[in-house]
Amino acid sequence: MSGNRAVVYSKPGSVEVRNTDYPDLVLKDGPGVNPLNVGRKCEHGVILKVVTTNICGSDQHMVRGRTTAPSGLILGHEITGEVIEVGRDVEFIKKGDLVSVPFNIACGRCRSCKERNTNVCLNVNPDRPGSAYGYVDMGGWVGGQSEYVMVPYADFQLLKFPDKEQAMEKILDLTMLSDIFPTGYHGAVSAGVRPGSTVYVAGAGPVGLAAAHSAQLLGAAVVIVGDLNAERLAQAKSFGCETVNLRENGDLAGQIDQILGSPEVDSAIDCVGFEAHGHGKSHGEAPATVLNSIMEVTRAGGSLGIPGLYVTGDPGAVDEDSKIGTLKIRFGLGWAKSHTFVTGQTPVMKYHRDLMMAILSGRAQIAKAVNATLISLNDAPKAYQDFDRGVSRKFVIDPHGLVK
């Protein structure tokens, strides 16, 4: 078989669908591929026919030109697919299996992986711990917003769905297992959400909505979602969240007080990251806003889950410090309140099997919560534009027209 089509970052504000190489079980040279990874043999890997692959807010950071991503980078780290070719060293995954791919690439052999910290695998990225498909400075593993993709370390990483027919009926939910659902869930778990908790979620984009739904699954009594976008707040309200519009009223603590009778919550989750804006009608970009505000509104002894992306290189930042990830954070406030901070990539494999069972049993309704919207591969460039404008949808690409 030869030929492939993929969504490619071309320049700031622009993606294209291009013809590209059919994947091989060798990591070849290309845009963003670390030179030390070129020629890496992956007989432990598989080739997938992509069934669904999602557009993520993390992709949008690159497309906006807010990272050092090179032109020509094939995008996409949220991948679900059917195995059509297996490497020589793959023992348990078989052709025909329908699988979810964790966005973290992990070898299963290093100290981090053995301790279930697959988000910081030591063997897949020559520059630093941790890797991902189709993402800048992550080792150069080719992205999955494409018709076909190669996935290494298949036996360790892949989550096989137990029944293909049942899985295809719930594919818009199950496609969220590669990243967004575990990421939102990890944010809620990291924030210490438990039955009876009051929770503030900063950001009503797809990850924020996933975190809010996860907090509900964990038994939170009240989940409050804050954003500047009224359409996204309406989506949060549609599945039972309280909401605060920070464009209309920048007093976060005051709005929380009106809802709870107290200006503080037990737990808070940052689902915004480094492109955060200040609050109020005349807001501008202020990257430390969310971190400082969640410290303000979280009770003493509470925890802060921070799945929102923060980077070490942002060429479009508002000041020189922010360009290298140095933000003006009120760390003294967090120290004084004995806050616990949990940051970094989500270790997807800690959660994805349990969340799969929650979906298959009908307990979790993640596609509904994030407003999953199916599109074709050709529709991807417009979907990126719509997502950048703030529409309240989670775009799911169906490259082969396989989803009913």
Tens place of pLDDT per residue across the chain (404 aa): 568 999 999 999 999 999 999 999 999 999 999 999 999 999 999 999 999 999 999 999 999 999 999 999 999 999 999 999 999 999 999 999 999 999 999 999 999 999 999 999 999 999 999 999 999 999 999 999 999 999 999 999 999 999 999 999 999 999 999 999 999 999 999 999 999 999 999 999 999 999 999 999 999 999 999 999 999 999 999 999 999 999 999 999 999 999 999 999 999 999 999 999 999 887 888 899 999 999 999 999 999 999 999 988 888 888 999 999 899 999 999 999 999 999 999 999 999 999 999 999 999 999 999 999 999 999 999 999 999 999 999 999 999 999 98
For Cα atoms 401, 3, 53, give the angle at the middle one, nearest 5 degrees. Answer: 40
CATH topology of domain 181-343: Rossmann fold (3.40.50)
| CA distances from residue 323 to 303, 350, 361, 397 in whole angstroms, order as listed | 27, 32, 45, 32
Tokens of 193: 């959400």
pTM of the model: 0.96
- What per-residue string of b and e applies to 176-208 under the rule 16 or more CB within 10 Å gives b? bbbbbbbbbbbbbbbbbbbeebbbbbbbbbbbb
**Structural domain boundaries in the chain:** 4-179+347-397, 181-343
Helix (H, G, I), strand (E, B) or coil at 104: strand
Q: What share of the chain is helix, strand, coil (3-state, %, to 5)?
A: 30, 25, 45
CATH topology of domain 4-179+347-397: Quinone Oxidoreductase; Chain A, domain 1 (3.90.180)
